[in-house]
Every structure is written in structure tokens, then in C-alpha cells.
Structure 1
Amino acid sequence: MKSFLVTILLALLFVLALIFGARNEQLVTISYFVAQGEYRLPIVLAVVFLLGFLVSWIVAFYYIVRLKLSLKSARKKIASLSAAQQEQNA
């Protein structure tokens, strides 16, 4: 439920950025290492927001998977220790 609310909040922020950009039809010059281009402000805002969202999602996904694997390993270890303790008591 919490992740759903966060997703809705991010979607609202994205829509807000698009509305802000739609009201500003200026051309923005972006300089790359080798080239340079002129783009409309709404496009730049949308691309930068989506790239930031994707990068943060990938980093969060990495940490979530790492924690789940660690938890799975800990649960296996607890189960094996619990089984060994039950054999000793029997």
C-alpha cells in the first residue's frame, strides 16, 4: 500500500512537471561533451524527471533484492540450527 501511494505521488509530480513545462514553451540549449542541441523545456523536464526516477528505482531495486537474499539466507540458517537443536533435545 505504501509503495502504491509513493507511485501515485511520483505520478502527480511528473504531471505537475509536465504542466509547468507546457506553460513554458522556451527552447533550452543543452551542451553535450561533443555536440549541442536545442529542445523544448517540457521535453527536457520530462526526460530528466524520468531518468532520475529510473535511476533511483534501479538503486532501490538492487538494495531490496540484496536484503531479500540476505533474509532468505538467514531463514535457512535459523531453520538448520533449529533442526539441529531439536535433534539434540530428542
Structure 2
Amino acid sequence: MKSFLVMVVVALLFVIALVFGAKNEQIVTISYFIAQGEFRLPIVLGVVFLAGFILCWLFSMFYIVRTKLKLRTALKQLAQLKPAEGSDA
């Protein structure tokens, strides 16, 4: 449920960025290393927002998977340390 609410908030922010950009039909100049381009503001806002979201999502998924793997390893080690049931040690 929490992830659904986060996705709804992100989608709303994306829509707000597009609406804001749609109201501002200005042409912006973007200079990168070897070239320069002129783009409409809504396109720039949408692409930058989406790129930031995807980058953050990839980082968070990396840390979530890493944490789950560590937890699985720790649980296996804990299971090995527990004495077998029924033995009188």
C-alpha cells in the first residue's frame, strides 16, 4: 500500500511538471559537452523529471536487493547456529 501511494505521488508530480511546462511554451537552450540544442520547456521538464526518477529508483532497488541478500545470509547463519530440535545439548 505504501509503494502504491508513493507511485501516486510521483505520478502527480510528473503531471504537475508537465502542466507547468505546458503553460510555459518557451524555448530553452541546453548546452552539453560538444553540442547545443533548443527544446521546448515541457519536454525538458518531463525528460529531466523522468530521468531523475529512474536514477533514484535504480539506486533504491540496488540497496533493497543488497539488504535482502544480507538478511537472507544472516538468517541462514542463524539457522545453523541454533541447536537441532530434540537434541539434549
Interval containing the TM-score (normalised by the shorter chain): over 0.9
Listed as ranges, the matches of 1:15-26 within 5 Å are: 15-26=15-26
Q: 2:84 maps to what in 1?
A: 86
Distance, in Å, in 2 between the alignment partners of 1:68 and 1:74 is 10
TM-score (norm 2): 0.94
d(CA) in 2 for partners of 1:18 and 1:86?
60
Distance in 1 between residues matched to 2:73 and 2:88, nearest whole Å:
25
Instruction: Name the counterpart of 1:50.
Output: 50
Q: 1: distance between equivalents of 2:27 and 2:3? A: 35
3-state secondary structure, aligned to 2:6: helix
Tell me how many residue pairs correspond in the alignment. 88
Residue 69 of structure 1 corresponds to 69
Aligned equivalents of 1:25 and 1:15: distance in 2? 16
Deviations 1:40-67 (A, max 9, x none): 0000000000000000000000000000
C-alpha RMSD of matched pairs (Å): 1.2
**Helix, strand or coil at the partner of 2:38:** strand
The structural deviation recorded for 1:29 is 0.1
Instruction: Write the letter of the residue equivalent to 1:54.
Output: I
